[in-house]
Amino acid sequence: MKVETKTKPNLDTDKIRKDFPILSREIHGKPLVYFDNAATSQKPKQVIAAISNYYEQHNANVHRGVHKLSEEATAAFEGARKKVADFVNAGDMRQIVFTRNATEAINLVAYSWGRKNIKKGDEILLTQMEHHSNLVPWQLLAKETGAKLKFIPISESGELRIHVLELEKYVTSRTKLVAITHVSNVLGTINPVKQTIEKIYERSTKNFELRPKVLIDGAQAVPHMPVSIQHINPDFYVFTGHKMLGPTGIGVLYAKKELLEDMDPFLSGGDMILEVDWEKSSWNYIPWKFEAGTPDVAGAIGLGAAADYLNSLGMKNVREHEKELTAYALEKLSAVKDLVVYGPKDPEKRGGVISFNIVKNDQVAIHPHDLASILDTEGIAVRSGHHCAQPLMKVLEIPAAARVSFYIYNTKDEVNRLIPAMEKAKRIFKL
């Protein structure tokens, strides 16, 4: 029997790359290698065209006019909400609130739900691997209310320690909210959010009067793998458009319907009201109760087009492509002497994010900013710094890290260019 050794690639990167005009740019005379996708992704022609087409043909304010253009703009805006709801299997599109980004979505929950439900002595449980966006809003809430923050620790391999004994320590009768990232933007760790939520629910319903609410930060998950919110079953789930081929300025909050109904508005003004009198007002239906003022109509339409684009590739293929590239890059990087990679070694357990340092005698030997600048001279864009996760840097005992992060258009040939560029940096630093 003939054994098939060459399998079909998950994505046709040659074809995909033609959709991204920016990828034909040269940087310092070298073809651009864009490895900073966890910060923001590039945008395909289809998304750019959807935004241009809206401004050229349908531009009007939404939910306000009875004229044709306003109806068209409203239909495109609400159509985008439906596309986004379907993309993450949210169930009901009324549970999708458009925000500016993931950060604003978390702040919305911290203000509207948190100010009403968190009291002195309550506990908010986070993890050691949270992005500042899923930490600072809870710090402010805790300071204002007298609540306490607790943190699920991470293991040596950069995974959450969430076995039963740990959860007994961290989930108590006072825990009112658990907020966890789905995928770490530094370690790449894919957290088992469904199982974690189940364990938390089980522990709290067995032992306590109330179960805590759970918020999942999906900023680094939704762009890169199939996500079914109904399957994961969180109370809140947030993500951001610009990391998933969409434009900047548009993000998403998903929440359970009864929570949205019960929460007070975050921002107030036009469009979020039903009736306004001199002294008081009543609120619009969800989700518009949380979308005060003229929304980012073009942004939502661009995000809808991004969801269409990703659907046309298939999110399973996107995940497989990134997994293969990550495994390849981890193997290639392992040949670079003195290079330390943070996070799980197993590509199954991580997304397409690899943070690393050149370490000698337990010290970071090339500052990641220097490393990133040298890679830039080779046309390779990577991020360096604390990655908006300063407390995690303390846990890892490093000042900063360099990070490559992949997406649908990245290739093994590009990874091959990374290795000599790293060696060049080492030569410059005489390492």
From CA 176, how far away is CA 113, in angstroms rounded? 11
Interface pattern 361-400 for ligand C6P (x via CB under 6 A): ----------------------x---xx------------
Among 185, 191, 384, 410, binds ligand C6P (CB under 6 A): 185
- Of the ranges 1-9, 144-152, 213-221, 292-300, which one interacts with ligand C6P (CB under 6 A)? 213-221
Question: Minimum distance between the CB of residue 389 and ligand C6P, rounded to whole angstroms?
Answer: 8
| Among the listed residues 252, 411, 249, 268, the one whose alpha carbon sits nearest the alpha carbon of residue 329 | 411
339 is an interface residue for ligand C6P by CB under 6 A: no
350 is a contact residue toward ligand C6P (CB under 6 A): no
Residue 363 burial (C-beta neighbours within 10 Å; 0-12, 13-18, 19+): exposed
| 388 in active site | yes
- Among residues 252, 245, 404, the alpha carbon closest in space to that of 313 is found at 245
Any idea what DSSP says for residue 93? G
Q: Which of 41, 42, 101, 175 binds ligand C6P (CB under 6 A)?
A: 101
Cα–Cα distance, 304 to 322 (Å, whole number): 22
**Residue 219 is a binding residue for ligand C6P (CB under 6 A):** yes
Q: Is 181 in the site for ligand C6P (CB under 6 A)?
A: yes
Size, binding site for ligand C6P by CB under 6 A: 18
Q: Which is nearer to ligand C6P, 132 or 194 (CB)?
A: 132
Q: Is 355 in the site for ligand C6P (CB under 6 A)?
A: no
Amino acid making up residue 59:
N
DSSP letters for 217-260: E-TTTTTTS---HHHH--SEEEEEGGGTTS-TT-EEEEE-HHHH
Residue among 121, 128, 73, 116 at smallest CA distance from 299 = 73
220 binds ligand C6P (CB under 6 A): yes
d(CA 271, CA 70): 14
Asked whether position 131 contacts ligand C6P by CB under 6 A, the answer is yes
Task: Compute CA 398 distance to the chain's CA centroid, rounded to the nearest angstrom.
Answer: 23
* 41 sits near ligand C6P (criterion: CB under 6 A): no
Given 259, 388, 393, 395, the catalytic residue: 388
326 binds ligand C6P (CB under 6 A): no
226 within 8 A of 190, measured Cβ to Cβ? no
- Is residue 102 part of the contact set for ligand C6P (CB under 6 A)? yes
CB 214, min distance to ligand C6P, A:
16
Distance of CA 231 to CAs 67, 88, 235, Å? 40, 10, 12
Closest CB 46 distance from ligand C6P, rounded Å: 21
Beta partners for residue 181, in sequence order: 217
Residue whose CB is less far from ligand C6P, 114 or 218: 218
- Binding interface with ligand C6P (CB under 6 A): 38-39, 101-103, 131, 133-134, 181, 185, 217, 219-220, 240, 251, 383, 387-388
Active-site positions read 388
